[in-house]
Amino acid sequence: MNSILEDLNNTCVNIQGSAFISTDGLVIASALPHDMNEDTFGAVSAALNSVGMQSIHDLADGVLEHVMIKSSLNYILMIQAGKEAVLTVVLKSHAELDNVMSNIRHAVEKISFIA
């Protein structure tokens, strides 16, 4: 799984890091920069994913596909990777999202096949 994440990170120079995380916040695999705390990354990803799922349940119809947060410098994208996991990717805010989303979905397909 780490090699899938490293391959994903290498598809776009704007991807700063990625991790495959269980819905309870456990980091299953990661390709994060050394200055990103893996435990914090997992906990925050799980919390945000949970809020997204609850929001869809309470306010809208359908199934949560992804959560996106944008700051002045970065995006944080969380993509569902099965019922019990999420793929979280941090990328620079000027990234071309359509291309990056396609690469992220491809990585999710590979990870889901392994898991």
- When pLDDT is cut at 50, 70 and 90, the band that residue 36 belongs to is very high
Q: What is the pLDDT of residues 79-102, one digit of tens each?
A: 988 888 999 999 987 777 777 888
Reading the block at residue 84, the tokens are: 């019990």
The domain locations on the chain are 2-114
pTM: 0.83
Separation CA 45–CA 89 (nearest Å): 10
Task: Name the architecture of domain 2-114.
Answer: 2-Layer Sandwich (3.30)
